[in-house]
Structure 1
Protein backbone atom coordinates (compact mmCIF):
# COMPACT_ATOMS: atom_id res chain seq x y z
CA UNK A 1 0.00 0.00 0.00
CA UNK A 2 1.01 3.61 -0.49
CA UNK A 3 0.99 5.32 2.89
CA UNK A 4 1.37 8.96 3.80
CA UNK A 5 2.71 9.55 7.32
CA UNK A 6 2.19 12.90 9.04
CA UNK A 7 4.60 13.62 11.87
CA UNK A 8 7.11 11.29 10.19
CA UNK A 9 10.18 12.93 11.71
CA UNK A 10 8.97 12.48 15.28
CA UNK A 11 10.37 9.54 17.30
CA UNK A 12 7.18 7.53 16.75
CA UNK A 13 6.89 8.68 13.13
CA UNK A 14 10.34 7.37 12.25
CA UNK A 15 9.45 4.00 13.77
CA UNK A 16 6.19 3.94 11.79
CA UNK A 17 8.13 4.60 8.59
CA UNK A 18 10.67 1.84 9.24
CA UNK A 19 7.99 -0.71 10.13
CA UNK A 20 5.84 0.23 7.15
CA UNK A 21 8.79 -0.42 4.85
CA UNK A 22 9.50 -3.73 6.59
CA UNK A 23 5.89 -4.78 5.98
CA UNK A 24 6.17 -4.03 2.27
CA UNK A 25 4.49 -0.62 2.09
CA UNK A 26 5.82 2.48 0.37
CA UNK A 27 5.79 5.67 2.42
CA UNK A 28 5.56 9.38 1.79
CA UNK A 29 7.05 10.90 4.93
CA UNK A 30 5.64 14.35 5.67
CA UNK A 31 7.93 16.72 7.52
CA UNK A 32 8.53 20.45 7.51
CA UNK A 33 12.27 19.84 6.99
CA UNK A 34 12.80 16.92 4.57
CA UNK A 35 16.58 17.45 4.55
CA UNK A 36 16.67 16.47 8.23
CA UNK A 37 14.81 13.19 7.73
CA UNK A 38 17.25 10.40 8.64
CA UNK A 39 15.83 7.51 6.59
CA UNK A 40 16.95 6.86 3.03
CA UNK A 41 15.35 4.07 1.04
CA UNK A 42 13.78 3.62 -2.38
CA UNK A 43 10.47 2.85 -0.64
CA UNK A 44 10.43 6.23 1.13
CA UNK A 45 9.99 9.67 -0.32
CA UNK A 46 9.87 12.83 1.73
CA UNK A 47 7.64 15.83 1.20
CA UNK A 48 7.63 19.20 2.89
CA UNK A 49 4.17 20.10 4.09
CA UNK A 50 2.86 22.09 7.01
CA UNK A 51 -0.17 20.20 8.38
CA UNK A 52 -1.75 23.57 9.15
CA UNK A 53 -1.71 24.40 5.43
CA UNK A 54 -4.82 22.89 3.83
CA UNK A 55 -3.51 23.17 0.26
CA UNK A 56 -0.22 21.46 1.15
CA UNK A 57 -2.03 18.63 2.92
CA UNK A 58 -4.39 18.17 -0.02
CA UNK A 59 -1.43 17.90 -2.39
CA UNK A 60 0.45 15.22 -0.41
CA UNK A 61 -2.60 13.04 0.38
CA UNK A 62 -3.57 12.66 -3.28
CA UNK A 63 -2.66 9.27 -4.75
CA UNK A 64 -2.26 7.36 -1.49
CA UNK A 65 -4.15 4.39 -0.05
CA UNK A 66 -4.10 5.28 3.65
CA UNK A 67 -2.99 7.96 6.10
CA UNK A 68 -1.17 7.56 9.41
CA UNK A 69 -0.93 10.62 11.65
CA UNK A 70 1.32 10.86 14.69
CA UNK A 71 1.27 14.64 14.86
CA UNK A 72 1.84 15.93 18.35
CA UNK A 73 2.41 19.20 20.17
CA UNK A 74 4.70 20.16 23.07
CA UNK A 75 3.15 20.93 26.47
CA UNK A 76 1.91 24.49 26.74
CA UNK A 77 -0.19 26.65 29.00
CA UNK A 78 -1.46 28.49 25.89
CA UNK A 79 -4.22 27.32 23.58
CA UNK A 80 -3.04 24.57 21.21
CA UNK A 81 -4.66 23.98 17.81
CA UNK A 82 -2.11 22.03 15.75
CA UNK A 83 -3.64 18.58 16.27
CA UNK A 84 -7.24 19.58 15.57
CA UNK A 85 -6.42 21.84 12.62
CA UNK A 86 -4.19 19.18 11.08
CA UNK A 87 -6.97 16.60 11.51
CA UNK A 88 -9.46 18.90 9.80
CA UNK A 89 -7.11 19.41 6.85
CA UNK A 90 -6.23 15.72 6.58
CA UNK A 91 -9.87 14.61 6.70
CA UNK A 92 -10.86 17.17 4.09
CA UNK A 93 -8.06 16.05 1.77
CA UNK A 94 -8.93 12.38 2.23
CA UNK A 95 -12.56 13.01 1.33
CA UNK A 96 -11.51 15.08 -1.70
CA UNK A 97 -9.32 12.27 -3.04
CA UNK A 98 -11.32 9.21 -1.99
CA UNK A 99 -8.78 7.96 0.57
CA UNK A 100 -10.67 6.10 3.30
CA UNK A 101 -8.28 4.51 5.81
CA UNK A 102 -7.05 6.79 8.62
CA UNK A 103 -4.97 5.75 11.63
CA UNK A 104 -4.30 8.44 14.20
CA UNK A 105 -2.41 8.43 17.50
CA UNK A 106 -3.33 10.80 20.31
CA UNK A 107 -1.26 12.04 23.22
CA UNK A 108 -0.21 10.14 26.36
CA UNK A 109 -2.29 10.71 29.44
CA UNK A 110 -5.47 11.62 27.59
CA UNK A 111 -7.45 9.06 29.56
CA UNK A 112 -6.64 10.87 32.79
CA UNK A 113 -9.49 13.21 31.90
CA UNK A 114 -11.85 10.24 32.24
CA UNK A 115 -10.88 9.61 35.84
CA UNK A 116 -13.25 10.30 38.69
CA UNK A 117 -13.26 13.77 40.20
CA UNK A 118 -11.47 12.50 43.31
CA UNK A 119 -8.75 10.82 41.26
CA UNK A 120 -8.20 13.96 39.19
CA UNK A 121 -7.82 16.02 42.37
CA UNK A 122 -5.22 13.56 43.68
CA UNK A 123 -3.23 13.84 40.46
CA UNK A 124 -3.35 17.63 40.51
CA UNK A 125 -2.03 17.64 44.05
CA UNK A 126 0.92 15.49 43.00
CA UNK A 127 1.76 17.02 39.61
CA UNK A 128 0.07 20.43 39.33
CA UNK A 129 2.62 22.04 36.97
CA UNK A 130 2.88 19.04 34.65
CA UNK A 131 -0.87 18.66 34.42
CA UNK A 132 -1.39 22.36 33.75
CA UNK A 133 1.11 22.31 30.86
CA UNK A 134 -0.41 19.20 29.32
CA UNK A 135 -4.05 20.24 29.59
CA UNK A 136 -4.05 22.46 26.49
CA UNK A 137 -2.61 19.65 24.38
CA UNK A 138 -5.13 17.14 25.74
CA UNK A 139 -7.99 19.50 24.95
CA UNK A 140 -6.75 19.88 21.38
CA UNK A 141 -6.33 16.11 20.96
CA UNK A 142 -9.93 15.67 22.10
CA UNK A 143 -11.01 18.17 19.46
CA UNK A 144 -8.96 16.20 16.94
CA UNK A 145 -10.71 12.98 17.92
CA UNK A 146 -14.12 14.63 17.63
CA UNK A 147 -13.35 15.86 14.11
CA UNK A 148 -12.28 12.37 13.03
CA UNK A 149 -15.23 10.60 14.69
CA UNK A 150 -17.71 12.80 12.85
CA UNK A 151 -16.47 11.63 9.45
CA UNK A 152 -17.59 8.59 7.50
CA UNK A 153 -13.98 7.53 6.94
CA UNK A 154 -12.59 4.16 8.01
CA UNK A 155 -10.75 5.58 11.00
CA UNK A 156 -9.13 4.04 14.05
CA UNK A 157 -7.87 6.15 16.94
CA UNK A 158 -5.03 5.05 19.20
CA UNK A 159 -4.60 6.34 22.74
CA UNK A 160 -1.19 5.45 24.18
CA UNK A 161 -0.32 5.39 27.84
CA UNK A 162 2.83 7.05 29.12
CA UNK A 163 5.30 6.67 26.26
CA UNK A 164 8.49 4.73 26.94
CA UNK A 165 11.36 3.57 24.76
CA UNK A 166 11.86 -0.10 23.92
CA UNK A 167 14.08 -1.42 21.18
CA UNK A 168 11.83 -4.34 20.24
CA UNK A 169 8.12 -5.02 19.81
CA UNK A 170 6.59 -6.71 22.86
CA UNK A 171 3.53 -8.90 23.25
CA UNK A 172 1.51 -5.71 23.65
CA UNK A 173 -2.24 -5.74 24.20
CA UNK A 174 -4.87 -3.75 22.33
CA UNK A 175 -8.12 -3.01 24.13
CA UNK A 176 -11.10 -0.74 23.64
CA UNK A 177 -11.04 0.34 27.30
CA UNK A 178 -8.22 2.23 29.03
CA UNK A 179 -8.11 0.04 32.13
CA UNK A 180 -5.18 0.88 34.40
CA UNK A 181 -3.42 2.93 31.70
CA UNK A 182 -0.10 1.03 31.64
CA UNK A 183 2.81 2.53 29.67
CA UNK A 184 3.09 2.20 25.90
CA UNK A 185 6.40 1.83 24.11
CA UNK A 186 6.80 3.90 20.95
CA UNK A 187 7.85 0.71 19.15
CA UNK A 188 4.61 -1.06 20.09
CA UNK A 189 2.51 1.97 19.17
CA UNK A 190 4.18 2.23 15.76
CA UNK A 191 3.73 -1.49 15.15
CA UNK A 192 0.05 -1.34 16.08
CA UNK A 193 -0.53 1.61 13.75
CA UNK A 194 1.09 -0.06 10.75
CA UNK A 195 -0.55 -3.43 11.44
CA UNK A 196 -3.95 -1.76 11.45
CA UNK A 197 -3.49 -0.17 8.03
CA UNK A 198 -4.56 -3.19 6.02
CA UNK A 199 -6.88 -4.79 8.60
CA UNK A 200 -10.60 -4.20 8.79
CA UNK A 201 -10.75 -4.84 12.54
CA UNK A 202 -11.58 -1.99 14.91
CA UNK A 203 -13.01 0.36 12.31
CA UNK A 204 -14.33 3.54 13.96
CA UNK A 205 -13.03 2.48 17.38
CA UNK A 206 -10.67 4.02 19.91
CA UNK A 207 -7.92 1.61 20.95
CA UNK A 208 -5.50 1.54 23.87
CA UNK A 209 -2.05 -0.01 23.47
CA UNK A 210 -0.52 -1.58 26.59
CA UNK A 211 3.10 -2.66 26.34
CA UNK A 212 3.81 -6.17 27.57
CA UNK A 213 6.85 -8.35 27.97
CA UNK A 214 9.68 -8.48 25.47
CA UNK A 215 9.16 -11.27 22.96
CA UNK A 216 12.18 -13.65 22.86
Structure 2
Protein backbone atom coordinates (compact mmCIF):
# COMPACT_ATOMS: atom_id res chain seq x y z
CA UNK A 1 0.00 0.00 0.00
CA UNK A 2 1.15 3.56 -0.69
CA UNK A 3 1.10 5.41 2.64
CA UNK A 4 1.79 9.03 3.51
CA UNK A 5 3.21 9.36 7.03
CA UNK A 6 3.07 12.66 8.92
CA UNK A 7 5.08 13.04 12.10
CA UNK A 8 7.66 10.51 10.92
CA UNK A 9 10.51 12.18 12.78
CA UNK A 10 8.99 11.84 16.27
CA UNK A 11 9.76 8.95 18.63
CA UNK A 12 6.60 7.06 17.63
CA UNK A 13 6.92 8.14 14.00
CA UNK A 14 10.34 6.60 13.56
CA UNK A 15 9.15 3.29 14.99
CA UNK A 16 6.10 3.41 12.73
CA UNK A 17 8.20 4.20 9.67
CA UNK A 18 10.35 1.13 10.34
CA UNK A 19 7.23 -1.00 10.81
CA UNK A 20 5.53 0.22 7.63
CA UNK A 21 8.63 -0.38 5.52
CA UNK A 22 9.17 -3.84 7.03
CA UNK A 23 5.53 -4.67 6.20
CA UNK A 24 6.22 -3.84 2.54
CA UNK A 25 4.40 -0.52 2.25
CA UNK A 26 5.63 2.32 0.02
CA UNK A 27 5.98 5.29 2.35
CA UNK A 28 6.12 9.02 1.73
CA UNK A 29 7.32 10.65 4.95
CA UNK A 30 6.81 14.38 5.34
CA UNK A 31 9.06 15.98 7.95
CA UNK A 32 10.33 19.41 8.83
CA UNK A 33 13.95 19.82 7.90
CA UNK A 34 15.92 17.32 9.97
CA UNK A 35 19.50 16.47 8.99
CA UNK A 36 19.62 13.11 10.77
CA UNK A 37 16.36 11.74 9.35
CA UNK A 38 16.97 8.61 7.22
CA UNK A 39 16.38 9.43 3.58
CA UNK A 40 17.80 6.42 1.78
CA UNK A 41 15.75 3.26 2.15
CA UNK A 42 13.86 1.06 -0.29
CA UNK A 43 10.25 2.22 -0.85
CA UNK A 44 10.82 5.46 1.09
CA UNK A 45 10.32 8.99 -0.24
CA UNK A 46 11.05 11.92 2.07
CA UNK A 47 9.54 15.38 1.62
CA UNK A 48 10.12 18.46 3.74
CA UNK A 49 7.03 20.38 4.67
CA UNK A 50 4.58 21.63 7.28
CA UNK A 51 1.61 19.42 8.14
CA UNK A 52 -0.51 22.48 8.91
CA UNK A 53 0.00 23.88 5.41
CA UNK A 54 -2.54 22.46 2.92
CA UNK A 55 -0.21 22.83 -0.08
CA UNK A 56 2.55 20.86 1.65
CA UNK A 57 0.14 18.11 2.66
CA UNK A 58 -1.28 17.95 -0.86
CA UNK A 59 2.23 17.46 -2.27
CA UNK A 60 2.84 14.59 0.15
CA UNK A 61 -0.42 12.87 -0.83
CA UNK A 62 0.50 12.24 -4.46
CA UNK A 63 -0.50 8.65 -5.21
CA UNK A 64 -1.29 7.82 -1.58
CA UNK A 65 -3.89 5.19 -0.70
CA UNK A 66 -3.82 6.01 3.02
CA UNK A 67 -2.59 8.73 5.35
CA UNK A 68 -1.24 8.17 8.85
CA UNK A 69 -0.62 11.01 11.28
CA UNK A 70 1.41 10.61 14.46
CA UNK A 71 2.07 14.31 14.87
CA UNK A 72 2.71 15.33 18.44
CA UNK A 73 3.94 18.09 20.68
CA UNK A 74 4.73 18.61 24.36
CA UNK A 75 2.46 19.96 27.08
CA UNK A 76 2.31 23.74 27.17
CA UNK A 77 0.49 26.42 29.12
CA UNK A 78 0.06 28.27 25.84
CA UNK A 79 -2.73 27.41 23.38
CA UNK A 80 -1.87 24.51 21.08
CA UNK A 81 -3.16 24.34 17.50
CA UNK A 82 -0.99 21.65 15.90
CA UNK A 83 -3.59 18.88 16.06
CA UNK A 84 -6.60 20.84 14.82
CA UNK A 85 -4.68 22.82 12.19
CA UNK A 86 -3.03 19.72 10.77
CA UNK A 87 -6.33 17.82 10.82
CA UNK A 88 -7.97 20.59 8.82
CA UNK A 89 -5.13 20.58 6.27
CA UNK A 90 -5.05 16.78 6.05
CA UNK A 91 -8.80 16.35 5.61
CA UNK A 92 -9.03 19.06 2.96
CA UNK A 93 -6.07 17.64 1.03
CA UNK A 94 -7.36 14.07 1.25
CA UNK A 95 -10.82 15.06 0.06
CA UNK A 96 -9.35 16.95 -2.89
CA UNK A 97 -7.04 14.05 -3.79
CA UNK A 98 -9.68 11.35 -3.35
CA UNK A 99 -7.61 9.57 -0.69
CA UNK A 100 -10.08 7.93 1.67
CA UNK A 101 -8.25 6.15 4.50
CA UNK A 102 -6.98 8.13 7.48
CA UNK A 103 -5.47 6.84 10.73
CA UNK A 104 -4.58 9.53 13.24
CA UNK A 105 -3.43 9.64 16.85
CA UNK A 106 -5.13 11.25 19.83
CA UNK A 107 -5.07 10.25 23.52
CA UNK A 108 -7.04 8.09 25.93
CA UNK A 109 -7.12 11.13 28.21
CA UNK A 110 -10.05 12.38 26.12
CA UNK A 111 -12.23 9.51 27.31
CA UNK A 112 -14.38 10.13 30.39
CA UNK A 113 -13.99 6.48 31.41
CA UNK A 114 -11.84 5.69 34.45
CA UNK A 115 -10.13 2.32 34.82
CA UNK A 116 -11.49 0.66 38.00
CA UNK A 117 -8.13 -1.07 38.45
CA UNK A 118 -6.30 2.21 38.98
CA UNK A 119 -5.16 2.99 42.50
CA UNK A 120 -6.69 5.75 44.58
CA UNK A 121 -3.61 7.90 43.96
CA UNK A 122 -3.86 7.38 40.20
CA UNK A 123 -7.55 8.31 40.11
CA UNK A 124 -7.58 11.17 42.61
CA UNK A 125 -4.10 12.64 42.21
CA UNK A 126 -2.46 11.41 39.01
CA UNK A 127 -5.30 11.89 36.53
CA UNK A 128 -6.16 15.46 37.63
CA UNK A 129 -2.48 16.42 37.45
CA UNK A 130 -2.24 14.94 33.97
CA UNK A 131 -5.38 16.78 32.91
CA UNK A 132 -4.03 20.07 34.25
CA UNK A 133 -0.60 19.73 32.66
CA UNK A 134 -2.10 18.71 29.33
CA UNK A 135 -5.19 20.92 29.30
CA UNK A 136 -4.28 22.93 26.18
CA UNK A 137 -2.97 19.87 24.36
CA UNK A 138 -6.06 17.77 25.07
CA UNK A 139 -8.35 20.65 24.13
CA UNK A 140 -6.72 20.77 20.71
CA UNK A 141 -6.87 16.99 20.37
CA UNK A 142 -10.62 17.22 20.99
CA UNK A 143 -10.91 19.79 18.21
CA UNK A 144 -8.91 17.46 15.95
CA UNK A 145 -11.22 14.53 16.70
CA UNK A 146 -14.25 16.65 15.83
CA UNK A 147 -12.71 17.72 12.50
CA UNK A 148 -11.78 14.15 11.57
CA UNK A 149 -15.16 12.80 12.64
CA UNK A 150 -16.99 15.26 10.39
CA UNK A 151 -14.66 14.79 7.41
CA UNK A 152 -16.49 12.03 5.56
CA UNK A 153 -13.24 10.05 5.27
CA UNK A 154 -12.72 6.43 6.32
CA UNK A 155 -11.03 7.45 9.55
CA UNK A 156 -9.80 5.67 12.64
CA UNK A 157 -8.60 7.62 15.68
CA UNK A 158 -6.05 5.82 17.86
CA UNK A 159 -6.10 6.64 21.57
CA UNK A 160 -3.00 5.39 23.38
CA UNK A 161 -2.77 5.51 27.16
CA UNK A 162 0.29 7.19 28.66
CA UNK A 163 2.90 6.85 25.94
CA UNK A 164 6.15 5.33 27.11
CA UNK A 165 9.37 4.14 25.54
CA UNK A 166 9.74 0.49 26.60
CA UNK A 167 12.23 -2.17 25.66
CA UNK A 168 10.93 -5.01 23.51
CA UNK A 169 9.29 -7.41 23.56
CA UNK A 170 5.89 -6.01 24.46
CA UNK A 171 2.34 -6.94 23.53
CA UNK A 172 -0.87 -4.94 23.36
CA UNK A 173 -4.64 -5.05 23.21
CA UNK A 174 -7.10 -2.71 21.50
CA UNK A 175 -10.75 -1.92 22.14
CA UNK A 176 -13.26 0.64 20.96
CA UNK A 177 -13.22 3.94 22.89
CA UNK A 178 -11.49 2.81 26.11
CA UNK A 179 -9.42 0.00 27.58
CA UNK A 180 -8.01 -0.99 30.96
CA UNK A 181 -4.32 -0.31 31.48
CA UNK A 182 -1.77 2.32 32.37
CA UNK A 183 0.61 2.80 29.45
CA UNK A 184 1.07 2.21 25.77
CA UNK A 185 4.55 1.39 24.54
CA UNK A 186 5.40 3.46 21.49
CA UNK A 187 6.31 0.33 19.56
CA UNK A 188 2.86 -1.11 20.36
CA UNK A 189 1.12 2.03 19.14
CA UNK A 190 3.16 1.82 15.94
CA UNK A 191 2.18 -1.83 15.45
CA UNK A 192 -1.50 -1.11 16.14
CA UNK A 193 -1.55 1.76 13.66
CA UNK A 194 0.10 -0.34 10.95
CA UNK A 195 -2.46 -3.08 11.57
CA UNK A 196 -5.34 -0.65 10.99
CA UNK A 197 -4.22 -0.12 7.40
CA UNK A 198 -5.32 -3.64 6.47
CA UNK A 199 -8.52 -3.98 8.49
CA UNK A 200 -11.92 -2.34 8.24
CA UNK A 201 -13.64 -3.20 11.52
CA UNK A 202 -12.63 0.05 13.20
CA UNK A 203 -13.55 2.52 10.47
CA UNK A 204 -15.28 5.60 11.93
CA UNK A 205 -14.29 4.57 15.46
CA UNK A 206 -11.87 5.58 18.19
CA UNK A 207 -9.55 2.77 19.24
CA UNK A 208 -7.84 2.59 22.63
CA UNK A 209 -4.44 0.85 22.74
CA UNK A 210 -2.85 -0.59 25.89
CA UNK A 211 0.38 -2.48 26.52
CA UNK A 212 -0.50 -5.50 28.64
CA UNK A 213 2.71 -7.15 29.82
CA UNK A 214 4.75 -4.19 31.07
CA UNK A 215 4.09 -0.87 32.71
CA UNK A 216 5.87 1.91 34.52
CA UNK A 217 4.51 4.10 37.29
CA UNK A 218 2.23 7.00 36.44
CA UNK A 219 4.69 9.33 38.18
CA UNK A 220 7.50 8.14 35.92
CA UNK A 221 5.32 8.54 32.83
CA UNK A 222 4.36 12.08 33.87
CA UNK A 223 8.01 12.95 34.39
CA UNK A 224 9.41 11.41 31.21
CA UNK A 225 6.60 12.28 28.81
CA UNK A 226 5.01 15.42 30.24
CA UNK A 227 7.37 17.36 32.50
CA UNK A 228 10.94 16.58 31.43
CA UNK A 229 10.52 17.62 27.74
CA UNK A 230 9.45 21.10 28.90
CA UNK A 231 12.45 21.71 31.16
CA UNK A 232 15.54 23.68 30.10
CA UNK A 233 18.23 21.34 28.79
CA UNK A 234 20.47 21.68 31.84
CA UNK A 235 17.63 20.71 34.20
CA UNK A 236 16.85 17.47 32.37
CA UNK A 237 19.98 15.66 33.52
User: How far off is 1:114 after superposition?
Assistant: 5.0
Question: How do 1:105-120 residues align onto structure 2 when only pairs under 5 Å count?
Answer: 105-107=105-107, 109-111=109-111, 114=113
Distance in 2 of aligned mates of 1:121 and 1:106:
21
Distance in 2 of aligned mates of 1:27 and 1:78:
33
* Mean Cα deviation higher: 64-73 or 179-188: 179-188
Instruction: Indicate if the aligned counterparts of 1:34 and 1:46 stay in contact, CA closer than 8 A.
Output: no
TM-score norm. by structure 1 comes to 0.88
* Mean Cα deviation higher: 73-82 or 34-43: 34-43
Q: 1:7 maps to what in 2?
A: 7
User: How far off is 1:177 after superposition?
Assistant: 3.6
Instruction: Tell me: CA distance 1:120–1:78, structure 2 relative to 1, closer, same or farther (3 Å).
Output: farther
Instruction: Indicate if the aligned counterparts of 1:169 and 1:188 stay in contact, CA closer than 8 A.
Output: no
The number of residues matched between the two structures is: 210
Query: 1:123 aligned to 2:125?
Result: yes
Distance in 2 of aligned mates of 1:53 and 1:152:
20
Q: 1:183 maps to what in 2?
A: 183
Residues 90-112 of structure 1, C-alpha deviation per residue, up to 9 Å, x if partnerless? 0100000110010011146333x
Distance in 1 of aligned mates of 2:12 and 2:27:
15
Q: How much is the aligned-residue C-alpha RMSD, in angstroms?
A: 2.4
Instruction: Indicate if the aligned counterparts of 1:2 and 1:26 stay in contact, CA closer than 8 A.
Output: yes
Distance in 2 of aligned mates of 1:47 and 1:31:
6
Instruction: Indicate if the aligned counterparts of 2:184 and 2:210 stay in contact, CA closer than 8 A.
Output: yes
Helix, strand or coil at the partner of 2:193: helix
Instruction: Indicate if the aligned counterparts of 1:169 and 1:187 stay in contact, CA closer than 8 A.
Output: no
User: How far off is 1:83 after superposition?
Assistant: 0.5
Distance in 2 of aligned mates of 1:160 and 1:24:
25
Instruction: Indicate if the aligned counterparts of 2:31 and 2:47 stay in contact, CA closer than 8 A.
Output: yes
* Mean Cα deviation higher: 35-44 or 204-213: 35-44
Instruction: Indicate if the aligned counterparts of 2:32 and 2:48 stay in contact, CA closer than 8 A.
Output: yes
